C-alpha cells in the first residue's frame, strides 16, 4: 500500500506536468490570415497564379497600379501579400522590377484598321485583367460635351465603348498634333454619363508585395471626397458599386518601407 506522503507526492507531480502542458499550449502564437485566426501549423498557402511575381527586393517609396477584388491578398509561407497589377509605363520612365512609379503611363489607342479587324461575337482583350465579348460595332455620331475631340462613338457592348482621342494644343490653343483624334481609346458608357472620361490604363504584370502587420488601409470617401482610414474588414466596401469595372477593380497606391507595405490607399477608379 502507498503511504499518504507518497500519494501526495504523486498528485503534486501530476499537477506540475499538467500545468506545464497548459502553459506551453497557451504560448503558441496564432497567425492572422486576414479572415480568420489559426495556428501556424494549419495555414495553407494560396496558389500563385501563373506569371505572378513575388517582389522581395523593393526600394522605399510609392507604387501604384490596379487591384482585383477576387485576387487581392495571398498567403505564402506564413506571410501575407497584396497583389498589384502594374500599369505599363512609358519606356523612358521604366527602369526595372518594382520601379514603375512614374505618373506617365501608356494609353492604348486603336486605329481604324484595328477596328476593322474586330468581329461581333469575338473576345476583345484589353490587358491581362480586362476582356469581354464584342456585342456590337455600331458607330454613332456621338458628341462628347466639353471634349476637344471629334464626334463619334463605337459601342462594343452595353458597357464598353470606344471614343476618339483629343487634339494636342500648345499654350496658345493652337493644334500641334491631331494624330490621336484619328484613333480610338477604350472607356465605359457609365463614364460618359457621369462626364468623367477615364482612359483605362493597361496592366501588363502582377506583382506580390508583402504586407506589414501594422499596415494602414485608406480609401476615398465618395460622399465627402476625402480620404478615410478603414479596417481590413472594410476593404470590400470600396467595390460595392453598380459600375461594372468599379465593382471588380480599384486603383491602388502603396507606401513601402523596408520591403513591406506600410500604407495602402484604394480608389474606385481603374
What are 69-86's pLDDT values in tens digits?
Answer: 999 999 988 899 999 999
Least confident of 27-41, 68-82, 162-176: 27-41
Per-residue model confidence (pLDDT) at position 21: 34
**Cα–Cα distances in Å, from 155 out to 118, 164, 189, 191?**
12, 12, 9, 13
Asked if residue 160 has pLDDT above 70, the reply is: yes
What is the rounded distance in angstroms from the CA atom of residue 70 to the CA atom of residue 220?
A: 20
The CA-based angle 10-15-21, given to 5 degrees, is: 130
What is the rounded distance in angstroms from the CA atom of residue 81 to the CA atom of residue 40?
A: 16
Residue-wise burial string across 212-238, b where 16 or more C-beta atoms lie within 10 A, e elsewhere = beebebebbeeeeeeeeebeeeebeeb
Q: pTM of the full predicted structure?
A: 0.72
167 and 183 Cβ atoms separated by less than 8 Å: no
Q: What is the tally of helices (H) and strands (E) in the chain? A: 3, 18
Region of 191 on the Ramachandran plot (φ > 0 left; ψ -120 to 50 alpha; else beta)? alpha
| More confident: 144 or 28 | 144
Per-residue model confidence (pLDDT) at position 1: 42
- Band (pLDDT 50/70/90 cuts) for residue 58 is confident
| C-alpha R_g of the chain | 27
What is the rounded distance in angstroms from the CA atom of residue 94 to the CA atom of residue 92?
A: 6
What is the rounded distance in angstroms from the CA atom of residue 165 to the CA atom of residue 26?
A: 64
Per-residue model confidence (pLDDT) at position 12: 41
Cβ-based burial of 261 (10 A; exposed 0-12, middle 13-18, buried ≥19): buried
- Band (pLDDT 50/70/90 cuts) for residue 54 is confident
Per-residue model confidence (pLDDT) at position 143: 79
136 and 157 Cβ atoms separated by less than 8 Å: yes
- Indicate the average pLDDT of the chain: 78
Asked if residue 117 has pLDDT above 90, the reply is: yes
Least confident of 14-28, 99-113, 122-136: 14-28
Q: What is the DSSP string of 202-255?
A: PEEEEEEEEEEEEEEEEEEETTTTEEEEE-GGGGGGGG--SSTTTTTEEEEEEE
**Sign of the C-alpha dihedral, residues 226, 230, 234, 239?**
positive
Q: What is the pLDDT of residues 220-254, one digit of tens each?
A: 876 667 888 999 999 998 898 888 888 999 999 99
Per-residue model confidence (pLDDT) at position 212: 95
Per-residue model confidence (pLDDT) at position 77: 87
Q: State how beta strands 260-267 and 203-221 pair.
A: parallel
Overall average pLDDT of the 174-191 stretch: 90
Which of 181, 182, 205, 222 has the alpha carbon at shortest distance from 129? Answer: 205
* Residue length of the chain: 270
Overall average pLDDT of the 103-107 stretch: 71
Asked if residue 44 has pLDDT above 80, the reply is: no
Per-residue model confidence (pLDDT) at position 259: 92
Amino acid at each position: 500500500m502507498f503511504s499518504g506522503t507518497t500519494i501526495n507526492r504523486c498528485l503534486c507531480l501530476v499537477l506540475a506536468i499538467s500545468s506545464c502542458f497548459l502553459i506551453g499550449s497557451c504560448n503558441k502564437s496564432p497567425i492572422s490570415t486576414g479572415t480568420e485566426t489559426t495556428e501556424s501549423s494549419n495555414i495553407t498557402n494560396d496558389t500563385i497564379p501563373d506569371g505572378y511575381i513575388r517582389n522581395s527586393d523593393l526600394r522605399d517609396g510609392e507604387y501604384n497600379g490596379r487591384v482585383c477584388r477576387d485576387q487581392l491578398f495571398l498567403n505564402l509561407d506564413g506571410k501575407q501579400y497584396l497583389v498589384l497589377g502594374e500599369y505599363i509605363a512609358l519606356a523612358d520612365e521604366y527602369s526595372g522590377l518594382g520601379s514603375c512609379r512614374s505618373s506617365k503611363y501608356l494609353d492604348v489607342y486603336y486605329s481604324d484598321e484595328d477596328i476593322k479587324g474586330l468581329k461581333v461575337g469575338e473576345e476583345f482583350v484589353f490587358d491581362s485583367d480586362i476582356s469581354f465579348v464584342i456585342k456590337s460595332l455600331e458607330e454613332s455620331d456621338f458628341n462628347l460635351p466639353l471634349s476637344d475631340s471629334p464626334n463619334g462613338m463605337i459601342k462594343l457592348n452595353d458597357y464598353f465603348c470606344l471614343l476618339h482621342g483629343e487634339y494636342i494644343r500648345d499654350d496658345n490653343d493652337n493644334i500641334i498634333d491631331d494624330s490621336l483624334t484619328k484613333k480610338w481609346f477604350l472607356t465605359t458608357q457609365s463614364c460618359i454619363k457621369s462626364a468623367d472620361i477615364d482612359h483605362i490604363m493597361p496592366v501588363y504584370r502582377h506583382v506580390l508585395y508583402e504586407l506589414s502587420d501594422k499596415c494602414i488601409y485608406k480609401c476615398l470617401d465618395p460622399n465627402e471626397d476625402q480620404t478615410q482610414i478603414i479596417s481590413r474588414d472594410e476593404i470590400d466596401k470600396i467595390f460595392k458599386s453598380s459600375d461594372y469595372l468599379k465593382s471588380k477593380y480599384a486603383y491602388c497606391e502603396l507606401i513601402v518601407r523596408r520591403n513591406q507595405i506600410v500604407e495602402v490607399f484604394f480608389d474606385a477608379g481603374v
